Amino acid sequence: MSMMGELKFFLGLQIKQVVDMIYILRRNMSRNYLMSHILATLQVLFDKRNTTKNELSLLKKFNCEDCKTMSIPMHPTSILSVDESDKKVDQTSYKYMIGSILYLTTSMLDIMFGVCLCARFQVYPRESYLTIVKHIFRYLKGTTNLGLYYKRYEQYMLKGCNDAHFVGDRIERKSTSGGCHFIGPNLVS
């Protein structure tokens, strides 16, 4: 094993380490998304030419480049159910869309629930499911400039929060659970 220098890119993420913090970005951040005191630091740290193109290529591939943006990945009241009267969509293209955004869930936990929920319906895809998948793509378009930053702290205490919705799946009567974990004040999973 050899040391190849400071880590700058990893799995489509741009990483910048400074003395007391780490920035993890999917793309370069813009003025609209940052507080002014962080913006001055980031403009010095990041080169404007370094952008990950994975999300942009997905948006182009599925004709979502010019679509409106969304601020949330999935509407909270969206309920997917087996509706035989709903119009069927092409199963191959639906699976292709789901598979394309499943890769992004490794670095974007905010879309994990919506993508996995839509993935349950790959065998019999309907128009209503496709609408939610397109909503996720619109969310991706609106969040390409967001990233994470981890501040270094003296005390690292692991904290976890979990929630469950028992029998939340109205079709198969399964429960849905989720959680988040922090090291100090930094969200890690």
Q: Could you write out the three-class secondary structure of the chain? A: CCCCCCCCEECCEEEEECCCEEEEECCCCCHHHCCHHHHHHHHHHCCCCCCCCHHHHHHHHCCCCCCCCCCCCCCCCCCCCCCCCCCECCHHHHHHHHHHHHHHHHCCHHHHHHHHHHHCCCCCCEHHHHHHHHHHHHHHHHCCCCEEEEECCCCCCEEEEEEEECCCCCCCCCCEEEEEEEECCEECC
pLDDT of residue 72: 84
Report yes or no on 104 lying in a domain.
yes
Residue 31: pLDDT above 60? Answer: no
Same domain, 59 and 102: yes
Same domain, 138 and 173: no
Same domain, 81 and 161: no
Report yes or no on 142 lying in a domain.
yes
Same domain, 140 and 180: no
Same domain, 37 and 59: yes
State mean pLDDT over 90-113: 84
Report yes or no on 4 lying in a domain.
no
pLDDT of residue 45: 40
Report yes or no on 69 lying in a domain.
yes
pLDDT of residue 167: 65
Q: How confident is the model at residue 161 (pLDDT cuts 50, 70, 90)?
A: confident
Same domain, 175 and 120: no
State mean pLDDT over 19-41: 51
Same domain, 46 and 35: yes
Same domain, 159 and 179: yes
Residue 34: pLDDT above 80? Answer: no
Report yes or no on 123 lying in a domain.
yes
Same domain, 166 and 74: no
Report yes or no on 2 lying in a domain.
no
State mean pLDDT over 74-80: 75
Same domain, 159 and 81: no
Per residue in 102-146, pLDDT tens?
Answer: 877 877 778 888 888 888 888 888 888 888 888 988 888 887 766
Please tell me the total count of domains within the chain.
2
pLDDT of residue 144: 72
Report yes or no on 36 lying in a domain.
yes
Same domain, 78 and 139: yes
Structural domain of 189 = 155-189
pLDDT of residue 54: 67
pLDDT of residue 84: 74
pLDDT of residue 12: 64
pLDDT of residue 147: 67
